[in-house]
Structure 1
Amino acid sequence: MLGEVLDAFGTLHLRSFVDCTLGAAGHSAAIIEAHRELELYVGMDVDPAVHDEARARIERLLAEDSRGSSLEAYTHVRNFKYIKSVLGGVDENLLAVGVDGILMDLGMSSMQVDDSGRGFSVLSDGPLDMRMNPQASLTAEDILNSWPESEVGKILRDYGEESNWHFLQKQIVKARASVGLHSTSDLVNLVRRASGRSGGREGWIKTATRVFQALRIAVNDELQTLEDALYACFDCLSSGGRLVVISFHSLEDRIVKQTFLDMIEKPEGDDDKGEISSGPSLLATESEAETWSKNRVQGRQGIVLTKRPITPTKEEEKLNHRCRSAKLRVLQKI
C-alpha cells in the first residue's frame, strides 16, 4: 500500500518522520524521496537482520541524495513500543517538539516469512520459533509443549479466532504427551489430520494459518505491545502530525480503531454510525483535502481521518496477494 501511505503524508510539510517497522525500507525510501523538505528520519525494527538490510538500503539512498548532510538519518534495533526512548536518545528536545509523521506497518517482512528458519511460514519446514526478536526467550515450541492446556486453547480461540480450537487443543496435548511438536511440519501435519476432509487443502491451510497467527501473536505479545505503542506514538506527534497504521488481521484493526478513538478523546454521545464531520480542517486548504478523508471523526485531541479504513485496490491485490487483508488508518493530532 505504498501509494496510500504516500497519500496519507502527502499534504504535510514533513520535517521529521519515524518508520516504526523498517522491514525492507520500501516505505522509508519512498517517503525520503517524496519529501525533499525532510530534515530528520528515524527507522526502527525489532529484528536485527531486517534492520541491517534496511539500514544498508537507506545508506545507499542517502549516498546518492543531493541533500547531503542536511537530512539526519538514524536507525535502531528496537521494538516500536520504545519510540519515546529512541527519540529521546536522538535529541532530548525532540519529544517536546514532536515529530510530523509516524508509520507503523504491522505486516511481517517478506524476509521473515521466506526464511524457513524463522518458523513463520505454513508452507516451509522449520523450527517452531516465530520470534520477531531472535534475542527473546519464548518460542512457539515452548508454548505448544509446555504451556497449560487451557492457555493453549485460549491462544487458539482468542488470537487465532479458530472455531475448532477445542479439538485442536486436545490434539496438541495428545501430541506433546508422546513425541512432542518440534517443527512447523509437525504442527501443520497435526492441523491437517485434525481438519480431516473438510474444506480440502484450502481448508486445512486456512486453519493452519490461523493457528500460526495465534502462536506468533502470543510469542511476541503483539496485541498488548501494539496498544502500548499506539499511545506512545501519539504522545510523540507534533501538533498537526499524523500517525499512519497498516494492520493485517481483525484483531489488530480493532485495536487500532478503538485506540485511535480513545486517543483523540471523542466526545461522549458520538457513536460510530453515520457520517461525522471533522469540523475545521487542519489542512492548508480544503482543495488539498484527501478524498479518502472526507468522513472523519473529530475529537478533543485529534481527528481520525479514516472513519473507514483504506484497503488495497484490486490491481494491488493481483500484484501482491499478501496485501489483500491490509487496512490503513490515519490519525492527525491537534
Structure 2
Amino acid sequence: MVAAMVSLPKLIHTLSSSYSSTTSKTITRSISNNIITLSKKEKQQLGLVKEKRRTRSDKEFDKDSIIQRYGSSSHIPVMLTEVLDVFSTSSSLNSFVDCTLGAAGHSSAVISGHPELKYFIGMDVDPVAHKMAQARINSVLPSGDSSVKVFTMLKNFRHIKSALIETGEEKLVANGVDGILMDLGMSSMQVDNPQRGFSVLGDGPLDMRMDPQASLKAEDILNSWPDSEVGRILRDYGEESNWRTLQKKIAQARLTGGFHSTGDLLDLIRRVTPAARGGRQGWIKTATRVFQALRIAVNDELKTLEDSLYSCFDSLSPGGRLAVISFHSLEDRIVKQTFLDIVKGGEENVAQGEGCNNDLIKAIDEIKEKEAWIRNVIHGSNGAILTKRPITPSGDEEKLNRRSRSAKLRVIQKI
C-alpha cells in the first residue's frame, strides 16, 4: 500500500521529478482528480490532511446530570468534568479563584466537590451575572456553614492581585492560591440579550461592553475611529479576509448616518458579502468574525488576557494550577505562548530542553502517574505545562452544547 511506504505528496514529487515537464503535469493532474473523491479518513491515511494538534477528551459526558443541574436553557459550563479533574489533585484545594465567574457554573461544582475548601474568590465585570452567581454559590453551601469564606467581586481578572488583597486574608496574599480558572467564553446571558449587542441573530444597540461601566462601545469604533484602524481590527482580531472591502463600505456608511444598531451593521455585511461565499451561511460567518473583532477591541481582550496570565501565575501557591479555556485561535495562541514564556522563557528554550532539573521533572512525572488526564508535559524552571497539546471537549459534549465546539483547555502548574 502506498501509505505504508511514503506519504502521497512525497510520492507525487518523486514521480514528477522523474519525467518531463509535460508528463509530470499529467501525472499530478490525474492524481489530484482522484484525490477529490477520497474520504477524509482516506486522505488522512495518505498524509494529505494535517492532524489537529490537540487531545480530545475521553471523559463521559452525562447529559441528563448536566441538564438537571443547570437546565437546558441556562448557561452550561464548558468542559466541566475536565475542569474538575484539573483541580482534583493529590493535594488539597484550600483556596480557589474563578476569574470569570459568570453564573458560577464551574465554581458551584468546584465548591461542592471540595469540602476542604476554605477560601473562594469569584470575579466578573458583569453585574447581572454577579447576582446569579451569588445565588448559585449560596445554594451549594451547607446551611449555616461558615467554613468557606466566599468573596465575590465586580472586577476584571487583570486585577486578581488587588482582589486577593481586598479579601483581607494575608495568607492568600503571601502564599498564593491553590487553583485559578479562566473561562474566556461568553455566557448565554450575554449572547441571548440583544441589548448587549453581542449576537448576530438579533437587533440591538452596538454596545459589546463586557463591563457596562466602561465607556467605549462598538458604535464608537465604527463611527469615529480612523478607517485604517477599523480595517486593522477586522484583519487582526476577526481574521476576516474581506476586511478591505468592509473597511471601505464602513467609511462610506458614515457619510449617510453611520451605525447605531447591530441591524445597521448586519445589513452592510449582507450587502458586502459575495454570494459565492455561501449565501446566507456565508454572511453569518463574516458577521461572526466582524462581531468578534469589535468585541475584542471594545474590551481590549487580548492585551488584558496576556497581562492577566502573568498575574494569575504569580498569584498561585507552589503546586497551584491555572486552567484556561479559550474559544478562538487568537486567545489560544496567547495562552500557549505565554505559558511557554512563563515556564522557561519561550518556545526556543522549550525546544532545547533548557531550564529544568531532574528533581522537578521527577516531581511532575509522579503527578502524571496519579492523574490519567495528564499526558504530555512541558517542563520548565518555574513550572510545568500539563497540556502540551490543548484538551478539547468530548464528541458527546459538542453535540449537546454547540458553544463548546471551539473550546480548548490548557493548564499550567507552578513549582
- Per the TM superposition, whether the score is higher than 0.5 is yes
CA displacement at 1:92 relative to structure 2: 3.2
Please tell me whether the aligned partners of residues 119 and 128 of structure 1 are also in contact (alpha carbons under 8 angstroms).
yes
Write the distance in 2 (CA, Å) between the matches of 1:51 and 1:248: 22
TM-score of the pair, normalised by structure 2? 0.76
Please tell me whether the aligned partners of residues 156 and 215 of structure 1 are also in contact (alpha carbons under 8 angstroms).
yes
Write the distance in 1 (CA, Å) between the matches of 2:320 and 2:97: 11
SS in 2 for 1:122: coil
CA displacement at 1:24 relative to structure 2: 1.3
Larger radius of gyration between Structure 1 and Structure 2: 2
Partner in structure 1 of residue 199 of structure 2: 121
TM-score of the pair, normalised by structure 1? 0.95
Write the distance in 1 (CA, Å) between the matches of 2:157 and 2:365: 28
Write the distance in 1 (CA, Å) between the matches of 2:403 and 2:230: 27
Instruction: Give unmatched runs, 5+ long, in structure 1.
Output: none
Write the distance in 2 (CA, Å) between the matches of 1:180 and 1:285: 57
CA displacement at 1:99 relative to structure 2: 0.2
Structure 1 residues 297-320: Cα deviation after superposition (integer angstroms, max 9, x where no partner): 001000000000000111101100
CA displacement at 1:189 relative to structure 2: 1.0
Identity %: 64
Write the distance in 2 (CA, Å) between the matches of 1:44 and 1:130: 19
Structure 1: which amino acid aligns with 2:405? Answer: R
1:1-334 matches, cutoff 5 A: 1-11=79-89, 12-62=91-141, 65=142, 68-90=145-167, 91-198=169-276, 199-266=278-345, 269-271=349-351, 279-282=361-364, 287-291=369-373, 293-334=374-415
CA displacement at 1:93 relative to structure 2: 3.5
Write the distance in 2 (CA, Å) between the matches of 1:159 and 1:153: 10
The count of residues paired between Structure 1 and Structure 2 equals 329
Structure 2: which amino acid aligns with 1:227? Answer: E
CA displacement at 1:239 relative to structure 2: 0.1
Please tell me whether the aligned partners of residues 197 and 206 of structure 2 are also in contact (alpha carbons under 8 angstroms).
yes
Please tell me whether the aligned partners of residues 266 and 300 of structure 1 are also in contact (alpha carbons under 8 angstroms).
no
- Please give the root-mean-square deviation of Cα atoms over the aligned residues, in Å: 1.9
Write the distance in 2 (CA, Å) between the matches of 1:84 and 1:148: 35
Instruction: Give unmatched runs, 5+ long, in structure 2.
Output: 1-78
Write the distance in 2 (CA, Å) between the matches of 1:266 and 1:241: 20
1:104–1:286 distance in 2 versus 1, CA, 3 Å: closer
CA displacement at 1:66 relative to structure 2: 6.1
SS in 1 for 2:350: coil
1:266–1:76 distance in 2 versus 1, CA, 3 Å: same
Write the distance in 2 (CA, Å) between the matches of 1:33 and 1:283: 29
Structure 1: which amino acid aligns with 2:99? Answer: C
CA displacement at 1:162 relative to structure 2: 0.4
Query: Which runs of at least 4 in structure 1 moved beyond 6 Å after TM superposition?
Result: none
